[in-house]
């Protein structure tokens, strides 16, 4: 199995640049999630790999096979790239059975009838669809239709599977279950896959590596743990979790730590980026790392409880600190209004404030 290499892709629609020099690799047996907000370029990047969009510059190759090279004038047609495609809409033929939908790509490739039947049957069994082979798409649930689309993409053993928001049409509960079985399927079959999603939890659950796109460029890439625990920019920190924000002014910087001060509070945090005394900055801390303390102390801020919310497995509390609103999980003492929130300095990241 060969790796997918994307080098310096540029693409624009009219005067609107969408991809601004994106490069990435996909190693054999690896799953890479393209994560980002709407308009970040993640789906355009996937479609450029598939051959559904034509970049103005760059190169795409799988091993020694060049799929696209602007300099050499190479642009291999979609059907010859031999990539597995799973679309957001599933794109199933409504008048064809599950078996025929999955077999369609093999028929186009002229696969012999005996080989076609065995491969389709195996693909359906791999996804738990063996008993549904004769059904039509309208007779399936959303989750079952999704599995048919994935089976169709896998049936001819493509070197790379491209999935565009594969879980987005499922309701929240089924989506949570689906990402677990899809990850299990990926691991069991040793697939190489590029998955587009705007959901950071989905990206962390399914992928070995995440590429976070921001307006056509890669903001940061790394393992789910690296992206969540060691963000290199405020954009990454914001996208990868639920956070409290404390804007203020840097008073002191020493040994990788910055003392940031706002109205009625100050705290030390880990510097992220270049900071000096007097700079405007923002302190960012994950909700789950914000603690309810038993009194005043180092890196603790005095707040008032506004309300709390029961979420089943935990309670979420909303506090006010002047004009700021801070949230954290935990149990509060009934009848108490005044609380101290602790901001552990290793988990309280101080970023330069954008101009």
Angle, CA 265 vertex, CA 271 and CA 331 arms, to 5°:
95
**220 and 249, same structural domain?**
no
Mean pLDDT of the chain: 92
Across residues 189-195, what is the average pLDDT? 89
Across residues 199-212, what is the average pLDDT? 94
Question: Other C-beta atoms within 10 Å of 257: how many?
Answer: 16
Residue-wise DSSP of 71-92: TTTEE--GGGS--EEE-TT---
In the chain, the N- to C-terminal Cα span, in Å, equals 46
The number of folded domains in the chain is 2
**273 and 220, same structural domain?**
no
pLDDT of residue 261: 97
Domain extent at residue 80: 4-235
Write down which residue in 194, 211, 235 finishes a domain. Answer: 235
**Is a pLDDT exceeding 80 seen at residue 169?**
no
Dihedral angle computed from the Cα positions of residues 293, 296, 299 and 301, in that order, rounded to the nearest 10 degrees? 80
Write down which residue in 235, 253, 282 finishes a domain. Answer: 235
**183 and 311, same structural domain?**
no
3-class SS of residue 178: helix
Tell me, what DSSP letter sits at residue 232? S
Across residues 28-54, what is the average pLDDT? 95
CB hemisphere CA count around 30 (13 angstroms): 18
CATH number for position 116: 3.40.50.300
Buried b (16+ CB within 10 A) or exposed e, 286-313: beebbbbeeeeeebbbebebeebeeeee
**262 and 207, same structural domain?**
no
Across residues 234-241, what is the average pLDDT? 94
In the block, residue with structure tokens 């590596």: 209
**215 and 149, same structural domain?**
yes
Highest mean pLDDT among 92-96, 124-128, 281-285: 281-285
* Residues across the chain: 355
* CA-wise closest residue to 51 among 78, 32, 24: 78
Write down which residue in 235, 258, 284 finishes a domain. Answer: 235
pLDDT of residue 2: 76
**182 and 46, same structural domain?**
yes
**314 and 208, same structural domain?**
no
pLDDT of residue 24: 97
**112 and 80, same structural domain?**
yes
Whole-prediction pTM: 0.88
**67 and 116, same structural domain?**
yes
**134 and 32, same structural domain?**
yes
**107 and 8, same structural domain?**
yes
What is the tens place of the pLDDT at every residue in 241-296? 999 999 999 999 999 999 999 998 999 999 999 999 999 999 999 999 999 998 99
Q: Are 336 and 305 in contact (CB under 8 A)?
A: yes
**209 and 154, same structural domain?**
yes
């Amino acid at each position: 199995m060969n790796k997918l290499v994307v080098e310096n892709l540029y693409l624009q629609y009219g005067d609107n640049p969408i991809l601004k020099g994106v490069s990435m690799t996909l190693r054999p047996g690896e799953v890479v999630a393209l994560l980002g907000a709407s308009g970040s370029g993640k789906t355009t990047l996937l479609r450029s790999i598939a051959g559904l969009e034509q970049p103005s510059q760059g190169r795409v190759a799988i091993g020694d096979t060049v799929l696209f090279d602007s300099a050499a004038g190479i642009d291999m047609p979609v059907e010859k790239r031999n990539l597995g495609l799973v679309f957001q809409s599933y794109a199933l033929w409504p008048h064809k059975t599950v078996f025929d939908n999955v077999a369609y790509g093999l028929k186009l490739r002229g696969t012999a009838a005996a080989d076609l039947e065995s491969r389709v049957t195996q693909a359906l069994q791999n996804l738990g669809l063996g008993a549904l082979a004769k059904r039509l798409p309208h007779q399936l649930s959303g989750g079952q239709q999704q599995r048919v689309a994935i089976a169709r993409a896998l049936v001819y053993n493509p070197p790379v599977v491209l999935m565009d928001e594969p879980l987005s049409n499922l309701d929240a509960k089924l989506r949570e279950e689906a990402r677990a079985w899809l990850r299990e399927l990926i691991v069991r079959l040793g697939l190489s896959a590029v998955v587009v999603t705007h959901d950071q939890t989905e990206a962390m659950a399914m992928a070995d590596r995440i590429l976070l796109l921001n307006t056509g460029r890669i903001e940061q890439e790394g393992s789910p743990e690296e992206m969540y625990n060691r963000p290199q920019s405020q954009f990454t920190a914001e996208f990868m979790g639920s956070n409290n924000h404390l804007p203020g002014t840097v008073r002191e910087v020493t040994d990788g730590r910055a003392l940031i001060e706002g109205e009625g509070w100050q705290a030390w945090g880990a510097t992220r980026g270049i900071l000096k005394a007097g700079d405007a900055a923002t302190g960012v801390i994950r909700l789950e790392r914000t603690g309810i303390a038993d009194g005043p102390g180092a890196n603790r801020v005095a707040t008032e409880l506004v309300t709390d919310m029961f979420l089943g497995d935990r309670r979420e509390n909303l506090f006010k600190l002047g004009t700021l609103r801070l949230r954290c999980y935990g149990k509060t003492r009934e009848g108490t209004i005044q609380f101290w929130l602790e901001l552990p300095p290793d988990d309280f990241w101080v970023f330069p404030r954008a101009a």
